[in-house]
Structure 1
């Protein structure tokens, strides 16, 4: 140990070799000189392999001549360090016999020429540079033994210096890779020419690729024999990724289905994609260098373009609908988005315009617009158009002391026509009634079909004395026989009349009073005309009793919820339930929602009832989500609830209380609710949608037929009313109406829910036509809270027929 320490502190390079020139001992100065991490790493290497060919011959001859207990000096021996720097050494050799090991040993000491000592400063600087390179550097001698590896190489390969330097490649890298690199180094040494190659590497354990450029330079002067090779490995992954992203962006630009054009800061077109050519009809060469105004349709005035450019200059963006012109001259609508690109100094450099041809969308909107205002079957005005005209007129009546009449009538025993003669005859009869009535009314009158066999005739600005005579004519002509498909059909009608402003100053009041009068006409034997009078309001007595008892229903625990499951026709799984309010009064017995809900809405009780229903529904949803986390609970919402100031906050609070996501709640509103105070309703529905709640339109097709509003209201589903479903398998017109609704809804990405599905034939047609969801007795009656839990657990993958057989007999 002491000998070893003394040996290590020698001022000169010192090492001991055996008769085979294997290094048995070395001091730290020797390992530093020859590029080894430590003396221990150096031990075991051949001294002769540390020098070039010529120097090896000189050293070998000197060792052969050296006798025991003699010394020899070998001057000016050239040596290239791991970095290829040439050194000049004076070696002193001394042979001795080691009795302990029984062999000769040679002590080799070396002194470096002074000029080489001065060059050490350069070498250290070079080492510092190499170890701070953002690249991996490794060198090998001619025998393929590693003589140097910089810090970046060790870090990237997660390997220690001593595991690399002084060893061949195959000791620390895969054999195939080692053979390949050996071959490349040999090729470089033989040819005398450096080489380079780009290689894709997979990072161990991460399945991520790195791209590197490997360069194989020759180590040595041009005029001397090469002492080895090096490898400089540069990571170009970032550059490759950027190149790939650029290629991807160019492909996205070229292959986008949306038209894209780019202009310079002078608004001159510098690039367009294939979709631009397809949509506008202009070839790229025809528009390059031109102003995009060549596409202008001249439908928009200068104020439109001023607002557009104000937005672009202020917010760097504009988006909206615009009409442009194709090369053929055809004017078409497009949805256009313009973005301004700015540099770091906030100066505009380019403009990018992206647009989509929305011709088909506009055509769909036109169809929707037609459905929005007119009844599909008869072509008469629907509820929305009627309400609009009546509302404007009655306000005018009060100002001008004028009179208008609203006549509500339906066809007596129309159901018998459908049942005995078929729905096709029934539909044709409705069309013939509409045609006949339209011939008898004035141009300014409005004839509307509300649904089924219910009609409303609104006669504005009419002399009160003429109303009865005109109605007599209508009744007389209505009663005359109809010839339909060679079949004679006779029908009569019951008419109820309300007069503005005496019987009401709004559409709702007039319609309600006319409805009361019509039912009185039916009670009087049908085929009659009845004018509204205050005696009819005696019907409100029962409503008053309902109102009184309903106030105590919640505290008396008389209310309950039933739940009717909804089935997805895509995968035959339960996707939701509709909560249905039921009331069994201790005084009135079982009261239908049709009776008490309108009373609650009118009296203001609906908000308390609604909150109770929402809380109970959300509470039940929490239980159902443990069974099916994707299930939605549909909750009917009244207009009064929807307009309450605290509706949204209360709804969010309730979901938070039971930890139920808003996405699992679907709020059902009626078409009339969408039309009332449309602007404020729109804001609220958008706010609800932003908070994640789903919106559905209930009893779709029976109210205002608000298809026009589906474009801008956040509706996720529409519920097709049972009126259209119940005879869809027999009534081709109703089937077409359903198909029209389903297809229009699908084009707007809105789901359809068919209500009242009761027989397999209805199910088959709905599946065939692409309806999304069904709800009805075919699948399940409304279930109690305990039944619905059991039903959801047991009905996973259950066929509707089996579900019906198992649960419909149990449900109440």
Structure 2
């Protein structure tokens, strides 16, 4: 019976009986005990008996712990505990269990329904069943929220990650329901327990879960200290960005675009900066993904176009007819009123449309190609020039280029380098295609004189980068313009 510790007397009497039998045989054969024989018996037999006593005491304590755990589970689950499946523990139960663990891992499992829907009751019931089936008997399952669960396991990092992967596969299988099936997306965060404070372990696993959500869901992510820094930074950005436009915290800097042959400015590119009083200067690579998640891209994009047009008008007062490029995302272009809003901003500051260049980065175009084509065509119809930024020059890119109504094509300096096995630089292929399409090339990110010379040899007309001019405030760029009194569009 697992509820009763085994009796100690059989294990104690066996060594004593064997010793007595050996002594009897010895007396019959030898007739007496020598000093050495008596010393050997006293050395071997008593330690064996003491060891058996200690083993029996340890087994008794183990049985008592098991009995106490079973009694606790029965109290939680009611009188029919043996007949039902155990319910998930609560967060408080999980914290107590974590406090008793010195190793293993904690998995936090988050569920996301289709679209914005939250998984419903029958689905959650099946989720709980799949979790119980997927874990080992010694693992603990707890429910942290409506759609959030935790699994506490004793296994090491490799096996814990394998467990997370198995649970991910099981929980993302379709859930039958009347009239069809429901599908659930799952994010799993992992953290090692390692004897840390329970709340710290829970926080670490939850941060890893957040990272899994940010990276697209349906994945397992481990916690590490660098991850925590990134996530805390992300939370700070999400907290501070709303209202940044109204508070006047956004700013533009301008990087000149130069005619490579004459080394004179022909235009500028407006680059967004967020001057946060608490977070410092935030660049677009960090700012825009947060703005997209908070649905602030449209508000920020409108501010950028308005500020760029205002600056163009100010420079026109000095007789300079340079153009200015602004970066937009396919999501911004998809807005039905984007062309109309751009025309309104140009009219408000009395800026000629051809002096504004709207840039869209090529990697984001593919999924929205038809919409992007339509909006770029609409911009060109009102006189605004268009550009394709970050052109990759892959086979699909070259084919796509023929469909896009653009005036400028911006490429990186890597295209200027000679190809392998003495082949011609890839820029030659791109330049030839651009020439046939009537598109001007701009080589960006030029950081050395060698790259500038390579771009010129390839026949590229325009360039920008640190080797030519660094981004600066409007006042400093205007002072730099004064060195080129004859510069015009």
Q: TM-score, normalised by structure 2?
A: 0.51
Distance 2:422 2:366 in 1: 26
More strand by share: 1
Are 1:549 and 2:236 matched, yes or no? no
Higher-RCO chain (CA-CA 8 Å, sequence separation at least 6): 2
Distance 1:737 1:666 in 2: 25
Contact 2:333 2:371 (8 Å CA) reproduced: no
Distance 2:282 2:405 in 1: 34
Q: Which residue, 565, 588, 594 being the options, matches 2:285?
A: 594
Distance 2:342 2:170 in 1: 40
- Is the partner of 2:236 in helix, strand or coil? helix
Count of residue pairs brought into register by the alignment = 279
Are 1:568 and 2:263 matched, yes or no? no
Partner of 2:375: 684
Partner of 2:438: 749
Q: State the Cα distance separating 1:540 from its structure 2 match.
A: 4.2
Partner of 1:700: 391
Are 1:651 and 2:338 matched, yes or no? no
Q: State the Cα distance separating 1:602 from its structure 2 match.
A: 2.2
Partner of 1:606: 297
Are 1:785 and 2:479 matched, yes or no? no
Contact 1:697 1:719 (8 Å CA) reproduced: yes
Distance 2:368 2:264 in 1: 37
Gaps of 5+ in 2: 1-157, 159-167, 174-184, 190-207, 209-217
Q: State the Cα distance separating 1:646 from its structure 2 match.
A: 1.8
Are 1:660 and 2:351 matched, yes or no? yes
Distance 1:751 1:568 in 2: 11
Partner of 1:766: 455
Q: Do the aligned partners of residues 783 and 732 (structure 1) sit closer, same or farther apart at CA in structure 2, a change above 3 Å counting?
A: farther
Distance 2:254 2:328 in 1: 15
Q: State the Cα distance separating 1:702 from its structure 2 match.
A: 7.4
Distance 1:706 1:555 in 2: 39
Q: Do the aligned partners of residues 769 and 597 (structure 1) sit closer, same or farther apart at CA in structure 2, a change above 3 Å counting?
A: same
Contact 2:418 2:425 (8 Å CA) reproduced: no
Q: Do the aligned partners of residues 733 and 740 (structure 1) sit closer, same or farther apart at CA in structure 2, a change above 3 Å counting?
A: farther
Q: TM-score, normalised by structure 1?
A: 0.32
Q: State the Cα distance separating 1:712 from its structure 2 match.
A: 2.5
Distance 1:500 1:703 in 2: 38
Q: State the Cα distance separating 1:690 from its structure 2 match.
A: 0.9
Gaps of 5+ in 1: 1-467, 469-497, 504-508, 514-519, 521-530, 799-812
Contact 1:573 1:796 (8 Å CA) reproduced: no
Distance 2:433 2:171 in 1: 40
Contact 2:446 2:452 (8 Å CA) reproduced: yes
Distance 1:739 1:499 in 2: 48
Q: State the Cα distance separating 1:500 from its structure 2 match.
A: 12
Q: State the Cα distance separating 1:785 from its structure 2 match.
A: 1.2
Q: Do the aligned partners of residues 723 and 552 (structure 1) sit closer, same or farther apart at CA in structure 2, a change above 3 Å counting?
A: farther
User: Aligned Cα RMSD in Å?
Assistant: 3.5
Contact 1:671 1:704 (8 Å CA) reproduced: no
Partner of 2:220: 533
More helix by share: 2
Q: Do the aligned partners of residues 682 and 739 (structure 1) sit closer, same or farther apart at CA in structure 2, a change above 3 Å counting?
A: same
Contact 1:601 1:638 (8 Å CA) reproduced: no
